[in-house]
Structures are given as C-alpha cells and as structure tokens.
Structure 1
Amino acid sequence: MAHGPAKSEVFAQLGEELRCVRIGQGLSAGELARRCGLSRSMLSRIENGQTSPSVDTLQSLAEALEVSVARFFCRRNGRPDLSFVPAGAGIRVDRMGEVAGFRYELLGHLLSGNLCVEPYLVRLQAGAPPFADFQQPGLQFVYLLSGRLRYRHGARVLEMGPGDALLFEGRAPHGVEAVLAEPVSYLAVTLAARQ
C-alpha cells in the first residue's frame, strides 16, 4: 500500500513555499503577520513546518500575498535555490530582541536543504549603544565593512577595522563592545541547522 508524504513533510513544504512567496514579494515576516492578524511567532512556526495552519489562516495568508491557496502546495523538486538581491534592495528586518540603533537588512535566503543561511548587512546608527550579549545556535561570520570597533566573543575582545573577519560559535555571548570610529557597518552571516 503506497503512502503519501508524512504530515511533518507536508507542513515543511507548505512553510517553505509560504516563505518563498513572502520573500519573493519583499515582505518581512513581521509585515506579513500584521497583514494577516497573526503573531510573528505563529508565522515563524508555520514557515518552519512546526505547526499546521487552519484553512482560514491559509486563506488570510494567500489574500495578503495575492496568490491562491494552491500556491503554497506547489512542489519545487529539482529546482535549485538562488537568491539575488540588487544593491540597496535588501529587506529591512525587525529582529526579535533587536537592539536600538542596530539596523538589519536581509541580503538573501535559501529555502532548500537542512542548512539555514541568513546574510545580513548590519548598520549602526550614530550613537548606537554597544551590545555584546547576543547568543544564538549555529555559526556566525562577521566581516567589518566600515568603521572601527571592539567585538567581544565570550571572554575575548578583538579590535576590528575594515576588512577584518570573525567566524565563531554563536552560543557564547558576543557582539559590539565599543564603537571606536563611525560609521560602522558589517556583514553578518548566520549558519545553522534547520529545526
């Protein structure tokens, strides 16, 4: 007797398609959640395949994205992911727990495979307070584009200038401990296994 895909696989595929449509339209998760009357955490659980949305929720999402509900059930087998973001066209992201003065711009997103890769352009506004207590699973890559700063990772503090790079485990407390010269901007890439 042939069996169809497991429920968890269906939820994961639905979530991937939803995220693909949202990102393709240049919408942040927060904006789509607001349009649909959902919490950001609920939208995140749907996009990550952790929960099954109701039919009403699917309809609300489809209407907000101006697509049919059937679009979320399209299979993209054999189609490799590609993310191209023209200069200046990254998606402004309001990250949960975002520190005042730190501005995040998502520069790409791939939906296939078991690895989640999120590249951000981070800009510190003038006078932004330092913050060195970020913690998240996975690996972090930081490449300083402009300015000078002291960056903390655990007990270690490094002085960084343009062109300097860091690669480290993100579970240790880390972040900008002090701004030495403005304006500060850096590329931050998070690499983690999908949950």
Structure 2
Amino acid sequence: MRSLSASRIGAQVKALRMAAGTSAGELARTSGISASMLSRIERGLVSPSVETLERIAQGLHVPVSRFFGDQARRTDFCHVRAGHGLVVDRIGAVADYRYELLGHLLSGNLFAEPYLVTLLPDAEPYVTFQHPGLKFLYFLSGEVTYRYGAKAIDVRAGDSLLFEATALHGIEAIHSQPVSYLSVVFTLRE
C-alpha cells in the first residue's frame, strides 16, 4: 500500500526533475542511485531514506526541504486577464512610458514583476535605467536601439534581451512606433 507522504515526496521529486529538464536516468546517475529505485520513488511506491533524498537533492541542486513542501496548497499564483493589468505610476518613471503590472510574485526570496511597457507617442529615449536584479525584455512592436552599458543593439518585434540590470540600460533611439515590450524584473529579497 502506498503511503500518502511517499506519494507526495515522489510527485515532488518528479516535478523538480522535470522542471530541471533532467531525464530520470541522468538524475539516477548523478545521484548515485539506481534508475529503478528512482522510478519507484517518483511513483510513490517506496519511502526513500533520508540519505537517498539527500543524494537526489544534490543531483537536482535543491535543498532536501523542497521535497516536503506542500506544493499543491501554495498560493503564489497570479492570473491577470487581457487588458486588466494594473497601470502603475512608478517612482522615477520616465515620462510617456506606460507601465502595466501583469502580476507580482514572491517565491522564497525571489521577486518576479512582469510589466507591459508601452511608449506613448511623445516618449523620448532614455538610457539611464539602473537597478538590482535581472531583466528580461521581449519586444512586441516597434523598432528601437537598446543600450546596455557600452553595447547598442537594434531590436524589433520578436526579439528578446536578458541582462543584469545593475548596468545602465534603456532605449537609445526609437526607429518605428508604436513600441511595446514585455519587461520582467527578477530581484532577490535581502
């Protein structure tokens, strides 16, 4: 008979393995356990020892505690319907840059803030954004030259950028409008 805790641990091991993009064989090899044992753990057929869980955690590069979190009851989920993001006045926001917050999430010590940024018709280039964290940009429309430190990159709809936001960055030139892009900022809580 399967134990409820073995089922939960097994489901969490499998979910973490899949999220890491690791095959079962690969995880078994890096963890130093047999593939059949890993399969039985993931299916909730056995209750793994603490030593085995430590090996699997090392193979996944996660703390052992991740196997015991009740992931089904987590509430860090955000759904924003199309056109219903929160238009925010950001402190220090550049004139005519419209920020629509599409969600806000804290997972552990990681903050994720996705924005739909739209440059209004009178928006001017601005290259001195600088803040902690990582930033991901996905351009939806328009063509611009984007400045990141000493680099200037021409980008257009469908292009993306990912970078450390501690360097000076921003739109250096606007070539065709309208300009809109998805901006996701990832920061760590102290």
Structure 1-normalised TM-score? 0.59
Partner of 1:51: none
Most deviating of 143-152 and 77-86 = 77-86
**Structure 2 residue aligned with 1:89:** 84
Q: Which runs of 5+ in 2 are unaligned?
A: 1-71
Query: Is the radius of gyration larger for structure 1 or structure 2?
Result: 2
Q: How many Å separate the matches in 2 of 1:85 and 1:78?
A: 20
Taking the aligned partners of 2:79 and 2:146, their CA distance within structure 1 comes to 29
Alignment of 1:45-124 (within 5 A): 78-124=73-119
Distance 1:95 1:118 in 2: 13
Alignment of 1:10-21 (within 5 A): none
Confirm or deny that 1:173 pairs with 2:164. Answer: no
1:148 pairs, out of 143, 164, 184, with 143
Deviations 1:136-169 (A, max 9, x none): 1010001100000000000000000100000000
Identical amino acids, percent of aligned pairs: 55
Superposition RMSD on alpha carbons, in Å? 1.3
1:194, distance to aligned residue in structure 2 (A): 1.2
SS at match of 1:128: coil
Query: Partner residue of 1:133?
Result: 128
Gaps of 5+ in 1: 1-76
**Alpha-carbon offset, residue 85 of structure 1:** 0.2
1:38-96 alpha-carbon deviations (Å, 9 max, x no partner): xxxxxxxxxxxxxxxxxxxxxxxxxxxxxxxxxxxxxxx94231100000000011111
Q: Give the match for residue 5 of structure 1.
A: none
Alignment-derived partner of residue 159 in structure 2: 164
Aligned-partner Cα distance in 2 for 1:148–1:106: 22
Cα distance between partner residues in 2 of 1:188 and 1:120: 5
Which residue of structure 1 aligns with residue 56 of structure 2?
none
